[in-house]
Chain A
């Protein structure tokens, strides 16, 4: 991206003044190099979002922003229903409520090293991963409806995990306002065999070692210590969310054309929040959020069983579970006035600062944990929301490094078995059903997450707490 097209507000904040059809400015976070490396498409997409009806304050791009569809990946935008605001199916994306769950194990690296291969094999056997894998759980229609209404609470009631887990999931594990009636038969059909499955692409399950602490007090409150191990689970609402995204994107695009709403990109298809289609999408999307909560709750339970099978009496406690593809109703203060806004985060993690009423007591003084995923060989990070998060970008932060190379190019550059061997030499065991998938997800196909984390920290979006290194990675 050409820097001369942007106004430099600070070394980590860049602004695009409203022009053309833009209703608000666009604000991009990142250092000079990150911004320069962003594709021109990010400029186009972040300014396109700024043209949508009812958008408030600005259209934001996080430091890991990259070319998406409609919204950039790493895009954040809030809409006011009282100002004709919209909800956009494309602004949430297909993988509704994709997110990361992190569990603290109390294990040390030396506990796992002697059984590392066995643990990797046990986890790979226990957690269905990759295209063509199916879960053990098959839901009847009535159970599917209960799951869509209950989320992780439904999963706990069915014996997956413990009630104490719920406190450590956003929305306490159950998204209010879900409308299972708005979820089509086809979406339900896609989910029938997919509960408790990881999926493929960049989704993963990792055993990670804490290698560096950047904020001792916060790390202690989160239960993190150097040399100890955590579990990271990255996945979403599976086929059900994909089908809901597909169907509402089509319905919104057709309705927009009928109403004569001119959009710069059809993928920005949206509906007024205060409309029948908008309400039905929100109801179905919230049901998909519950599906993602239930899915990660089941996988968390399977991981606990696998850990105990290899390392008896291991107690994995949930640190937090937070999504990075959602539209949530949140109260934010704009010019001194509290307003209920519909905040879209597409590839951006919610990052509530210290004192936020929705956080459980033990986390409230610190701020909400934010998880930034790595890419097999590279570091993952635990951050926390800060006092400045809200005014920077409606309490939002980055979610990953972002690709620097297409899958096609990655496949030309590397062979999956070479990647697996190389990572094993460096201490990371990979288990995956697809060597082609591993080649496409090779660590060097992703940008360096360190620069993204530094920019996120320096911009005041979230602050650094701990850096993690993968020891075992189960890849779909």
Chain B
């Protein structure tokens, strides 16, 4: 399945990488933006999902919550030396419990292209369009 068919894509940014996603619920969109972030590093389908990590985030609004979620994953990837291929997010107001499944980075199998340094607030948006949710975020690589 293509990235677009899975509800996420990358948009062009001169220096870095733009992540975009849409979905029926806010939780779906957060999961798909996270997959798009893995897609900036490697093909998410190459990542085995045999280790589970849970993170808790909160923020004053839903856009900052998206950045918190992505940055929590950046931290877990960096300190555990892992990549994540599957996500599950439960959102309650401006709080979130997220679960990520993945494995240790294998340079031979994943050929990681870049390291995500952090998620930025530039062009950041989370909003409803028609019956679905859409989100955009630029990550610094």
Tell me, yes or no, whether A406 is within 8 Å of chain B by CB: yes
Tell me, yes or no, whether A105 is within 8 Å of chain B by CB: no
Verify B117–A436 contact, CB threshold 8 A: no
Contact check: which of A69, A132, A239, A407 meets B107 at CB < 8 Å?
Answer: A132
Verify A403–B14 contact, CB threshold 8 A: yes
How far is A200 from B111 in the complex, measured between Cα atoms in Å?
12
- Closest chain-B Cβ to A473's Cβ sits at a distance in Å of 16
Verify A265–B122 contact, CB threshold 8 A: yes
How far is A94 from B14 in the complex, measured between Cα atoms in Å?
16
How far is A435 from B122 in the complex, measured between Cα atoms in Å?
29
Tell me, yes or no, whether B62 is within 8 Å of chain A by CB: no
Say whether, besides A257-B60, A433-B111, A434-B112, A406 and B13 are in contact (CB < 8 Å). yes
Contact check: which of B12, B16, B114 meets A69 at CB < 8 Å?
Answer: B16
Tell me, yes or no, whether A93 is within 8 Å of chain B by CB: yes
Verify A245–B117 contact, CB threshold 8 A: yes
Say whether, besides A93-B140, A94-B140, A239-B78, A70 and B122 are in contact (CB < 8 Å). yes
Say whether, besides A94-B140, A269-B121, A434-B112, A134 and B107 are in contact (CB < 8 Å). no
Tell me, yes or no, whether B53 is within 8 Å of chain A by CB: no
Verify B140–A69 contact, CB threshold 8 A: yes
How far is A321 from B10 in the complex, measured between Cα atoms in Å?
35
Tell me, yes or no, whether B5 is within 8 Å of chain A by CB: no
Verify A66–B112 contact, CB threshold 8 A: no
Residue of B nearest to A71 (CB): B122
Verify B138–A433 contact, CB threshold 8 A: no
How far is A133 from B107 in the complex, measured between Cα atoms in Å?
9
Contact check: which of B112, B114, B124, B138 meets A407 at CB < 8 Å?
Answer: B114
How far is A200 from B14 in the complex, measured between Cα atoms in Å?
17
- Closest chain-A Cβ to B118's Cβ sits at a distance in Å of 4
How far is A95 from B140 in the complex, measured between Cα atoms in Å?
9
Verify A436–B15 contact, CB threshold 8 A: no
In the complex, chain B residues 93-141 whose Cβ is within 8 Å of any chain A Cβ: 105-107, 110-115, 117-124, 138, 140-141
Binds A, one of B27-35, B63-71, B84-92: B63-71
Binds B, one of A146-154, A248-256, A386-394: A248-256
Contact check: which of B16, B67, B71, B81 meets A132 at CB < 8 Å?
Answer: B81
Residues on B with beta carbons closer than 8 Å to the beta carbon of A340: none
A-B Cβ contacts below 8 A, count = 138
Say whether, besides A200-B115, A433-B107, A67 and B81 are in contact (CB < 8 Å). no
Residues on A with beta carbons closer than 8 Å to the beta carbon of B115: 130-131, 199-201, 476
Verify A253–B64 contact, CB threshold 8 A: yes
Residue of A nearest to B18 (CB): A406
Residue of A nearest to B138 (CB): A69
Say whether, besides A131-B114, A239-B78, A66 and B14 are in contact (CB < 8 Å). yes
Verify B121–A249 contact, CB threshold 8 A: yes
Verify A440–B114 contact, CB threshold 8 A: yes
Interface band, chain B: 35 or more
Contact check: which of A93, A189, A200 meets B112 at CB < 8 Å?
Answer: A200
Tell me, yes or no, whether A90 is within 8 Å of chain B by CB: yes
Tell me, yes or no, whether A360 is within 8 Å of chain B by CB: no
- Closest chain-A Cβ to B39's Cβ sits at a distance in Å of 10
Say whether, besides A132-B105, A403-B14, A266 and B113 are in contact (CB < 8 Å). no
Residue of A nearest to B70 (CB): A246
How far is A411 from B141 in the complex, measured between Cα atoms in Å?
15
Verify B114–A200 contact, CB threshold 8 A: yes
Residue of B nearest to A409 (CB): B12
Using a Cβ–Cβ cut-off of 8 Å, how many residues does chain A contribute to the interface with B?
Answer: 53
Residue of B nearest to A65 (CB): B14
- Closest chain-A Cβ to B124's Cβ sits at a distance in Å of 7
Contact check: which of A73, A134, A403, A406 meets B81 at CB < 8 Å?
Answer: A134
- Closest chain-B Cβ to A155's Cβ sits at a distance in Å of 22
Residue of A nearest to B141 (CB): A201
Verify A402–B120 contact, CB threshold 8 A: no
How far is A239 from B106 in the complex, measured between Cα atoms in Å?
19
Which has the most chain A C-beta neighbours within 10 Å: B59, B113, B124, B138? B113
Residue of A nearest to B68 (CB): A250
Residues on A with beta carbons closer than 8 Å to the beta carbon of B2: none
How far is A66 from B67 in the complex, measured between Cα atoms in Å?
23
Residues on B with beta carbons closer than 8 Å to the beta carbon of A267: 120-122
How far is A31 from B12 in the complex, measured between Cα atoms in Å?
25
In the complex, chain A residues 228-262 whose Cβ is within 8 Å of any chain B Cβ: 239, 242-243, 245-246, 249-250, 253-254, 257
How far is A265 from B75 in the complex, measured between Cα atoms in Å?
25
Verify B67–A250 contact, CB threshold 8 A: yes
Say whether, besides A69-B16, A131-B105, A186-B75, A94 and B118 are in contact (CB < 8 Å). yes
How far is A406 from B16 in the complex, measured between Cα atoms in Å?
8
How far is A411 from B39 in the complex, measured between Cα atoms in Å?
13
Residues on B with beta carbons closer than 8 Å to the beta carbon of A200: 112-115, 141
Residues on A with beta carbons closer than 8 Å to the beta carbon of B64: 250, 253-254
Interface residues of B (CB under 8 A from A): 10, 12-17, 40-42, 59-60, 64, 67-68, 71, 74-75, 78-79, 81, 105-107, 110-115, 117-124, 138, 140-141
**Interface pairs (9), CB distance under 8 Å:** A69-B138, A73-B14, A190-B79, A201-B141, A239-B78, A246-B71, A249-B118, A406-B13, A436-B112
Known: A245-B117, A433-B111, A434-B113. 13 other contacts (CB 8 A): A90-B120, A94-B118, A130-B115, A131-B105, A190-B75, A200-B112, A200-B113, A201-B114, A239-B78, A242-B78, A246-B74, A265-B121, A436-B112
For the complex of A and B, the 9 pairs showing the least CB-CB separation, nearest first, are A69-B122, A132-B105, A266-B121, A406-B12, A131-B112, A69-B120, A94-B117, A67-B14, A242-B117
